Copies of this chain bind each other. A is one copy, B any other.
Amino acid sequence: MADSAHPFDRALRLETVDTDTVRGTTSPQWANMVGPFGGITAAALLRAVESHPDRIGDPLALTVNFAAPIADGEFDICLRAARTNRSNQHWMLELRQGDEVKTTATALFGLHRDTWADDESRPPSAPAPEDVAAGRFVDAIVWAKRYDMRFTDGPVPTGAVDPSTSSTTTLWVRDAEGRRLDFAALASLSDVFFPRIFLRRGRFVPAGTISLTTYFHATSDEIDAIGDDFLLASAHANRFSRGYFDQSAHLWSRAGQLLASTHQLVYFKD
C-alpha cells in the first residue's frame, strides 16, 4: 500500500524506543549530496523534543551540530531535559547510528508572555512571488524538489557565471505540495539556502554546514495564520576565511513579519 503521507511528515515519523530515545529513518526524498538535507535533520530533532511528554512551551532556539554524515537507514535520537525552569526548558540531544554520534544539538523551549513588541528587521524589497518564475536548483539535489523556490536575488549559479561581489540570496519559498507551516517546517527552512561560497566563486565548491542555530520569533498562532503561503528568505555571509564562513539569514512572512533568524557556520574547500 502506498504511503500517502506528505514527505515531510514521513521523514519526521519517530517511534518511541524508551523515555529518552526515539527512532527515525532517513527518507530518499530528502537526500542531499551526502546524507540527508540538514534542514530535515534539524526538523527531526525539533520534533523529537516537541513530541516528548515532558516538553513545555514552544521552540525558542535550536542549535544543531552536523558532526558526521548520516547514513541511509535508521537513526536514534537520544534526548533529555537538562534543566526545566518555570517558563523554559533546556534540552540536549544526540543523533546516533549504532555507537556513532552523527549530530549533536541543544534546544530551548519556553512559554510566551505578553510584552512590549517591535519588529526592527526590514525584509529586502522583492516582487510578489506570483511575479517570479520558479527557480532552478540542481537536479542532483533531491531535497530541493520539496520546495517551491523563487529567487529574486542571488540565484544558484548554474553553468558559467561570473563570481559575484555579494553573497546575498533572497527567495520566496514554500512547501512544493502546499503543506502548512509549523515549527518543524520552519526549522527545516532555516537551512534552505545553498552555500554562499557558490555565489562568490560563481560555481560549485565542496561545502557543508557544520553548525546551525535558529531563533524562533513566531508564536504558533502566527505560524498557523501563514498556512501554506510563501515566506521571504534572505541570507548572506560575513567572512570567508581558512576553510570556513558564516551565514546569517532571516525568514519573513509575506506581510513582513520576522518569523526566524538563523545563523550557520559552513566549511568549504577551495
CB distance from A68 to the nearest CB of B (A): 6
Per-position 1/0 for A162-175, Cβ under 8 A of B: 00001100000000
Complex-state Cα separation, A270 to B112, whole angstroms:
12
Q: Tell me, yes or no, whether A120 is within 8 Å of chain B by CB.
A: yes
If over half of A's interface residues share one DSSP class (helix, strand or loop), that class is named, otherwise mixed; here it is strand
A112 touches B67 (CB 8 A): no
Q: Which residue of B lies closest to A102 (CB)?
A: B83
Residues of B within 8 A of A261 (CB): 238-239, 246, 248, 263
Complex-state Cα separation, A211 to B92, whole angstroms:
13
B120 touches A240 (CB 8 A): yes
B239 touches A258 (CB 8 A): yes
Q: Which residue of B lies closest to A62 (CB)?
A: B211
Which of A8-16, A44-52, A151-159, A213-221 lies at the interface with chain B?
Answer: A213-221
Q: Tell me, yes or no, whether A85 is within 8 Å of chain B by CB.
A: yes
Pick from A113, A167, A242 the residue with the most CB of B within 10 Å: A242
B117 touches A213 (CB 8 A): no
B265 touches A263 (CB 8 A): no
Complex-state Cα separation, A248 to B246, whole angstroms:
13
A241 touches B119 (CB 8 A): yes
B67 touches A83 (CB 8 A): yes
Question: How many copies of this chain sit in the oligomeric assembly?
Answer: 2
Complex-state Cα separation, A67 to B108, whole angstroms:
9
Pick from A82, A102, A114 the residue with the most CB of B within 10 Å: A82
Per the 8 Å Cβ criterion, residues 72-122 of A in contact with B are: 82-83, 85, 88, 90, 92, 94, 100-102, 104-106, 108, 110-121
User: Which of the four size classes fits the interface of chain A?
Assistant: 35 or more
B108 touches A210 (CB 8 A): yes
Q: Which residue of B lies closest to A237 (CB)?
A: B120
Q: Tell me, yes or no, whether A243 is within 8 Å of chain B by CB.
A: yes
CB < 8 Å neighbour of A210 from B60, B67, B211, B240: B60
Residues of B within 8 A of A65 (CB): 61, 90, 106, 108
Assuming the A-B contacts A113-B243, A118-B200, are A60 and B248 also in contact, with contact meaning beta carbons closer than 8 angstroms in the complex?
Answer: no
Per-position 1/0 for A230-270, Cβ under 8 A of B: 00000011111111101010100000001001010101111
8 nearest A-B pairs in the assembled complex, by CB-CB distance: A112-B242, A67-B83, A113-B243, A67-B90, A239-B258, A61-B211, A121-B238, A63-B63
Since A60-B211, A113-B242, A215-B265 are in contact, a sample of 8 more A-B pairs with Cβ atoms closer than 8 Å, ordered by chain A residue number, is A60-B210, A83-B104, A116-B200, A120-B167, A120-B238, A120-B240, A215-B244, A219-B242
